[in-house]
Amino acid sequence: MNKIVISGYYGFANAGDEAMLTAIINTLRQLDPQAEITVITGNCAATATRHRVRAVKRTDFFAIVRSLAACSLVISGGGSLLQDVTSSRSLYYYLSIMGLAVALGKPVMLYAQGIGPVRRRMARKAVRRLLQHVQMISVRDRESKRDLTAMGVTVPPIHVTADAVLSMPTVTATAGEEILRRAGSDGTRRRVGISLREWRGVQQYKTAVAAAADVLQTEENVEIIFVPMQYPADVQAGEAVAALMKTPALVLREAYDTAEFMSLMACMDAVIANRLHALVFASLVHVPVTAVSYDPKIDSFMTGIGTGICGTVERVEAADVIGNVRRQLQQGGLTPAVQQRLQHVRRQSLRNTYLAARLLVGKEGVRKAWRRWCRLV
């Protein structure tokens, strides 16, 4: 039996990170249905119940060491784990997990990670020294590969794939419609979903989005709905923007799992977000998106699907948001060009499965596992 340990930002009620974990676990279970999967998490009960895995507390050093010592593969899974913008402590934490695995002689894979920014000299040196000893690196965009190359990472080869969530099957709007009905949305108007996070006390994007939402609600007769990706922080961010509006808006105040959040996105006619995975979820269900960027990962995703950002959290204008959303409402969905690019990045995301298979079942079993997975997706 393969025993796999997955490390990442899990158990913190962040829909994007939980979706990445779901995608990785689905991949592993298709490759090896008997695999025993252990997740290092901030909430053991929630992670074990939601994902049907073993769970160890991210602060329980001895439990982590025991899990690593017994495993056959360690996956550092998805997201922007290796960066020192929000916190250098988190970067060293994730490096330490991989370092322990390397010290114990365990193969390590970076799974569709977004790298950086890593700005501090010692942090860049630590990333380079550690990653030279892992067995597989896949990153979700070319910028991440460039960052690793600039840091001096030369082995193993760096594979550019795409965000793990892009490999997930889509869902219907049924669950989302029920959530919205309970929240008081009757569905008589077109809906514009807004998914925002706080960012370093910046106020500009909140003011701009609030002003744009007022105009769209008044002149386009849409319903503005704030949808939280991380609970409860994004509820508070939504309430803060709604308080700046002159017209009433609906703020959803519950936590949602991956399927529920994607279903909510499927209920929208357009989405405004500075949350990467709100943009990803909406695109997967063919809902056009307006991106307000705070991080290069958002720029990379939007470029990857053939569009661009509307502005940054520091420099975005209400008029630009209004114009972008109006065009999308007139189009009534994703353009054919964007749909084609989206299919390409979904195929790139599936390459993560192939790369994991090389470590999990060995080269001799890769072709068989790959064919089996492709039949299922």
One fold for 3-160 and 174-339: yes
Pairing mode, strands 222-226 and 3-7: unpaired
Report the pLDDT averaged over residues 340-356: 92
User: How deeply is 303 buried, as exposed, middle or buried, from its count of CB atoms within 10 A (0-12, 13-18, 19+)?
Assistant: middle
pLDDT tens digits along 28-53: 998 889 999 999 999 999 999 999 99
Q: What is the pLDDT of residues 76-120, one digit of tens each?
A: 997 889 999 877 899 999 999 999 999 999 999 999 999 999 999
Instruction: Output the pLDDT for position 79.
Output: 83
What distance in Å separates the CA atoms of residue 284 and residue 265, rounded to the nearest whole number?
A: 9
Domain coordinates in residue numbering, the chain: 3-160, 174-339
Average pLDDT of the residues in 222-239: 97
Number of C-beta neighbours around residue 159 at 10 A? 17
Res 374 pLDDT > 60: no
pLDDT at residue 376, as a whole number: 46
Residue 145 pLDDT class (50, 70, 90 cuts): very high
The Cα–Cα gap between 168 and 326 comes to 29
Torsion of CA 133, 136, 141, 146, to 10 degrees: 30
Annotation: CATH topology of 3-160: Rossmann fold (3.40.50)
Count Cα neighbours of 215 within 13 Å in the Cβ-side half-sphere. Answer: 16
Name residue 278's amino acid: A
Q: Tens digit of pLDDT for each residue in 180-216?
A: 999 999 999 999 999 999 999 999 999 999 999 999 9
pLDDT at 78: 78
pLDDT in tens, 4-21: 999 999 999 899 999 999
Residue 291 binned pLDDT confidence (cut-offs 50, 70, 90) = very high
Query: Which positions ≥6 away from 182 have C-beta within 8 Å?
Result: none
Whole-number pLDDT of residue 263: 97
Residue 69 pLDDT > 70: yes
CATH code of the region 174-339: 3.40.50.2000
pTM above 0.85, yes or no: yes
Q: For residue 191, give the 3-state DSSP assignment.
A: strand
CB-count exposure of residue 155 (10 Å: 0-12, 13-18, 19+): exposed
The number of helix segments (H) and strand segments (E) in the chain equals 15, 13
- pLDDT of amino acid 342: 95
